[in-house]
């Protein structure tokens, strides 16, 4: 179980970190997404900062549960945006962004579940 949790921590962090390049450099796909959502450029920059913080938190043992919760919240927003506004496939990506959001969400849920006792103590 511990190896699965570590793998999920890494996968979630890598997914979030690799998307930062597109958000922070103003890639056309990223601008299109946030323009469609009515949140360009503040939403793009803001979500990039949140994802950077979440990816960092999930890699640190003492803060991994906070990172997992932040990733789950952020990816829930991304998933719902794809389902209700953007569509599963964005500009011919074959649904890759949607799939990555789903994988990051599931990985974060596994990490959060593995540390649920700490989370329950906090609340």
pLDDT value of residue 115: 85
Confidence category of residue 1, pLDDT binned at 50, 70, 90: confident
Confidence category of residue 118, pLDDT binned at 50, 70, 90: confident
Per residue in 85-97, pLDDT tens? 999 999 999 999 9
**Is residue 120 exposed (0-12), middle (13-18) or buried (19+ Cβ within 10 Å)?**
exposed
Query: What is the C-alpha separation between 43 and 64, in angstroms, rounded?
Result: 24
108: left (phi over 0), alpha (psi -120 to 50) or beta: alpha
66-88: average pLDDT: 97
Domain spans, the chain: 2-122
Per residue in 24-69, pLDDT tens? 999 999 999 999 999 999 999 999 999 999 999 999 999 999 999 9
């Amino acid at each position: 179980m511990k190896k699965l949790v570590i793998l999920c921590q890494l996968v979630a962090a890598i997914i979030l970190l690799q998307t930062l390049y597109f958000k922070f450099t103003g890639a056309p796909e990223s601008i299109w997404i946030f323009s469609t959502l009515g949140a360009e450029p503040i939403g793009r920059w803001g979500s990039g900062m949140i994802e950077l913080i979440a990816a960092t938190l999930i890699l640190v043992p003492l803060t991994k549960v906070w990172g997992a919760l932040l990733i789950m919240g952020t990816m829930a927003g991304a998933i719902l945006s794809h389902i209700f506004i953007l569509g599963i496939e964005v500009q011919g990506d074959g649904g890759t962004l949607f799939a990555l959001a789903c994988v990051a969400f599931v990985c974060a849920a596994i990490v959060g579940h593995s540390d649920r006792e700490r989370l329950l103590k906090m609340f």
